[in-house]
Structure 1
Amino acid sequence: MSLDPRAVSAAEFPDWYRAVGIGFLRSSIPAPDEEVAVRLATLDLSRVQGVFDAGRCVATFRSFAQELTVVGGATVPADAITAVTVTPTHRRRGLLGRMMAADLAAAKERGDVVASLIAAEYPIYGRYGFGPASWTTEWEIDVPRAGLDPRERVPSEEDGGRIELVDGADVRKLGPELHGRLAARQHGVVSRDERWWQRNTGVDVPAFEGWKEPFHAVHRSADGETDGLVTYRADDNWGDRKQPQNKATVAGLIAVTPAAERALWRFVCSIDWITTVRTGYRAPDDLLPLLLPDPRAARVVTQADWLWLRILDVPRALEARTYTAAATLVLDVHDATGLAGGRYLLETSPSGASCTPTTRTPDLALDVRELGTLYLGDESALRLAALGRIEEHRPEAAATAEAVFRTARRAWCPDVF
């Protein structure tokens, strides 16, 4: 029987969803009808693939539309990939490769500039042209050790700023605009639709997800403008000595000014009874540790690759972002699939960039996965050259690429998808 991927029908979706549970080791039994109906209602079935063997789904794949912020604040259309599984009984048969090929070809046809994903396993996606384009860090803060004076007022209050507790309805009103402002200044941020804001504030969250209402706080500047938002949850731990030793876990923190960022972190670390703060996934160069009198009180608990990118349209991708250096580079991009390979002349300046096909002798040769790794400015071209993953055809070409692609602040994607 053919094991070719195909679109999944509504009638087949329960079996597809069960296969997702098997692949991620969550459950091998069919999900309740209510759960299946909730998941189905939010999907575009035209972008859901499955492989079926004897009427049973043995591989899953889904994509959805996304906007990615690139260096400089512009956005490009992305093919966001998720729910990728192959049932253990059907591994090593090329099923993922066939589903990926079909999806990327469709994305290219749609005009998507990149494909994106969060990789559950590092070794898988490089062979499909993806490269890790951003990293993430999570800290755990020992609040008593941090050296903060609980008698001090939250920073920015002396300048007229203030922090207010709000509810989910306020977050749905204020959050999208704040997130848009963050995206305009932080490369690596991906779009959030209305459903995202609803699900993350408890609107129509089904009982099987076990929703626990979080706390929300906003920072307002002296002129009353909302420029920061934090969402956190707290446990209830009184310890062996019947003293409160509670942990606050930050579900998300958006700040569009340094003052708001400082004030929100100071606020979370100053809440009575909170002795530990878990920061959630942050940019590796987040301000947080250095905001503390004792930065060693912030212990790194997660340091990992995060957003992976696969370039689908080299000229559009490279022309969409900005550059601080004026330079000319001829890039020979290898792509085994033929989707984005070719030789391109990249000309950059602080005022803009152009990228066009060329027959000129290349300065650098690299695989499309390395181009994805370089794209958001988070990786060093010199490091990749030293590793043999970029080949120099002109002396100092890697140094030129370093100056062209690297950014002062690191890329950051706040979301899991």
Structure 2
Amino acid sequence: MTRPRSDIDVRPIGEAEIPDWIRALNTGFLRSPGVSEDEVADRSSYIEPARTLGAFDGGRCVGTFRSFEQRLTAVGGAEVPADAITNVSVTATHRRRGILTRMMAEDLGAAKERGDVVATLIAAEYPIYGRYGFGPATWMTEWTVDVPRAGLDPRWAGPADGGRIDLVDREDVRKLGPELHERVRRARPGAVSRTERWWQVETGAVHLDRAPWVEPFFAVYRSATGEVEGMAAYKCDDRWDDKQPAETAKVRWLIATTPAAERALWLHLCSIDWVTKVRSGWRGPDDLLPFLLPDPRAARITTHADWLWVRILDVVRALEARTYDGEGSLVLEVVDRAGLSGGRYRLEVAGAEASCTATDRAAELTLDVADLATLWLGDESVLRLVALGRVWEERAGAARMADALLRTPGRPWCPDMF
């Protein structure tokens, strides 16, 4: 068994080390390792050196890790401070030496001390992050709609509810989008905050040579009162087969505060001349899209996978931040091998109030901190995790009570990659 090498230095990077850190990141993600001046200037403009870790072997960066401030919506609409983790890589020549474990421990320890309630990430590979206490807390589904088969009215020319859809410019998106997204985020458990830079990148105000800017179409739905309630960005390819149009509209993102806005935007996408397929992009698994079509089978699932992973750093604040539909009390034994948030806790829910306190009462459920994260946003069943051997029921009936408390009627969803 290969043991971690003590001569590999894991630490926050200095400004002069940013180019080497970018080269290591590009290498780890199997992109060309070349680093342009524009790329260095762009990274330098937004990374926080104190939260940007590098692993150095003989002065050369062989591992990368970055985190940033994020707000995550809990069940019920409250937001919690999150340590958002991204840009994680270890160079292939330095695998199995404990580099990721050391970078993760340093970042999570700092996040705990800072007062973050959870850490979040989007996992490139499923098996990596469970051992660090992360659990998949939201899932995503992508549909491909066969438009001719969907059975939609070919004469559809716009919403019948008094609202309207307009195509707008990217300046309009930067002006209208952030406020709309905040309304969407506050209403959707699992949604995360977007930075100003996110809107700049998505509208071409910031772009790199590595990813040339191609402007998408931007559609906005306004209600009958003129309020912006939905927005979508999409691109269309240029494909014809045997003199017949075969264009695909690929949705980059679509957000809406009302079902009417969501319906109107999907019908708009499915009614564009020449478009025969619509790819939905990353959607919540309970998205309305298939059932907005007269023939839901025209929307074929092309991707279904885990999406946002969560790591609980403060059990008390995490459980008290969310709301619960039922009432009752439950004693949880939370196992955390990293020693960050383990212990025995009593969750008590009465009316609209929830309290969570450390206790020495006998545990009713025992579970790993990663499985608590999977349950926290309400998407998973405690009974199913008991059947899988991942949660242990110490008192008969405790799992069913936990399901009644923790499960939510709608599924959480994170619209974003970060």
Given that 1:323 and 1:349 are in contact with CA atoms closer than 8 Å, whether structure 2 keeps it comes out as no
Structure 2 residue aligned with 1:219, among 215, 218, 221?
A: 221
Aligned residue identity for 2:268: F
Shift of 1:336: 1.0
Stretches of structure 2 lacking an aligned partner (at least 5 in a row):
1-5
Aligned to 1:10: 15
- Structure 1 residues 281-296: aligned runs within 5 Å: 281-296=282-297
State the Cα distance separating 1:26 from its structure 2 match. Answer: 1.1
Contact kept, 8 Å, 2:156 with 2:271, in 1: the verdict is: no
Distance, in Å, in 2 between the alignment partners of 1:43 and 1:412 is 26
Q: Tell me the SS of whatever aligns to 1:5.
A: strand
Give per-residue Cα distances to partners, 1:182-234, cap 9 Å, x unaligned: 11211000000111111111113234421001101111111111101111111
Structure 1 outlier segments of 4+, above 3 Å: none
Q: Is the 8 Å Cα contact of residues 140 and 279 (structure 1) preserved in structure 2?
A: yes
Amino acid at match of 2:94: H
Cα deviation digits, residues 74-123 of structure 1 (max 9, x gap): 10000000111111111111110011000000000000000000001111
Alignment partners' CA distance in 2, 1:137 and 1:334: 31
Partner secondary structure for residue 240 of structure 2: coil
- Superposition map of 1:229-378 within 5 A: 229-239=231-241, 241-378=242-379
CA deviations 1:243-291 (Å, max 9, x no partner) are 2211100011111001111111001000111001000000000000011
How many Å separate the matches in 2 of 1:226 and 1:93? 51
CA distance in 1, matches of 2:15, 2:212: 26
Report if the CA contact (8 A) 1:4-1:98 is conserved: no
On the 8 A contact 2:11/2:55 being kept in 1, the answer is yes
| Aligned-pair identity (%) | 63
Aligned with 1:339: secondary structure? coil
CA deviations 1:49-98 (Å, max 9, x no partner) are: 11111111111111001000010011000000011111111111111001
Aligned equivalents of 2:206, 2:232: Cα separation in 1? 22
CA contact (8 A) 2:9 2:57 kept: no
Match in the other structure for 2:144: 140
Q: How far apart, CA to CA, are the structure 1 residues paired with 2:376 and 2:250?
A: 32
1:369-411 Cα deviation digits (max 9, x unpaired) = 0000001001110100111111111101011111111111101
- Residue 131 of structure 2 is aligned to residue 127 of structure 1: yes
Offset, 1:149: 1.4
Counterpart residue number, 1:410: 411
8 Å CA contact 2:168, 2:218 repeated in 1: yes
Alpha-carbon deviation of 1:350? 4.1
Report whether the alignment pairs 1:163 with 2:165: yes
Deviations 1:271-326 (A, max 9, x none): 11100100000000000001111111111111000000000000000000000010
Contact residue 216 and residue 234 of structure 2 kept, 8 A: yes
Given that 1:162 and 1:222 are in contact with CA atoms closer than 8 Å, whether structure 2 keeps it comes out as yes
Please state if 1:63 is matched with 2:64.
Answer: no
> For residues 372 and 210 of structure 1, what CA distance do their matches in structure 2 show?
37
Aligned-partner Cα distance in 2 for 1:81–1:132: 14
CA distance in 1, matches of 2:394, 2:269: 52
* Partner residue of 2:101 out of 97, 102, 106: 97
Structure 1 residue 159, shift from structure 2 partner: 2.4
| Equivalent of residue 34 in structure 2, options 19, 30, 37 | 30
Task: Give 1:262's aligned amino acid.
Answer: R
Secondary structure in 2 matching 1:195: helix
Which structure 1 segments of 5+ residues have no match? none
Output the CA distance in 1 between the equivalents of 2:298 and 2:350: 42
Report the alpha carbon displacement of residue 153 of structure 1 after superposing the two structures with TM.
Answer: 3.7
Q: Does 1:210 align with 2:212?
A: yes
- Aligned residue in 2 for 1:182: 184
Q: Which residue is 2:51 aligned to?
A: 47
- Deviation of residue 139 (structure 1)? 0.5
Residue deviations 1:165-198 (CA, integer Å, cap 9, x gap): 1111111111111111111211000000111111
| Deviation digits for residues 107-143 of structure 1 (CA, Å, limit 9, x no counterpart) | 0000000000000111110100000000000011110
Letter in 1 for 2:232: V
1:39 to partner: Cα distance: 1.6
Q: How does the TM-score come out when normalised to structure 1? A: 0.97
Cross-structure match for 1:113: 117
Equivalent residues of 1:163, 1:220 under 8 A apart: yes
Q: Which amino acid aligns with 2:250?
A: T
Query: Helix, strand or coil for the counterpart of 1:2?
Result: coil
